[in-house]
Amino acid sequence: MENPFLDDGPDIAGALADVAHIADLLQQAAREGRAVSYSELLMMLGFRFTRPNMRALCKTLDAVDREAAARGEPPLAPLVVRESDRLPGQGWWVSRRDYQGDWSGTEARSYLAGHQQRAFDFWNDRP
């Protein structure tokens, strides 16, 4: 059965590359003090989870964080996690310059929690 709300139609590239819209969605999640899964974020954008969709989304998350950094805001990509273990995917971890540990386990969760908390704190009192 096909779901018309999960179309993956002709505007997929535009929707998955919409930095401002994706940033808005993640800022709202930060205000709510919660992380979102890759599949949840894709669903918010109207797409089903597929590897190509996730890769396109990850490229946009990099752009979201570059623009946030230019404005002096904390990164939002750490709010996007896998459903299975609630940790970011490999792409996020390999871009870390201040962390050399395992990408799973207590140390990884603690490191991620610090990044997420900065986003929660920053966006908590902003409209």
Question: Cα–Cα distance between 106 and 44 in angstroms, integer?
Answer: 30
Q: What is the pLDDT of residue 43?
A: 95
pLDDT of residue 52: 93
Q: What confidence score (pLDDT) does residue 3 get?
A: 47
Gap between the Cα atoms of 27 and 44, Å rounded: 13
76-105: pLDDT as tens digits: 999 999 999 999 999 999 999 999 999 999
pTM: 0.88
Are 12 and 57 within 8 A, CB to CB? no
Q: What is the pLDDT of residues 7-46, one digit of tens each?
A: 555 556 688 999 999 999 999 999 999 999 999 999 999 9
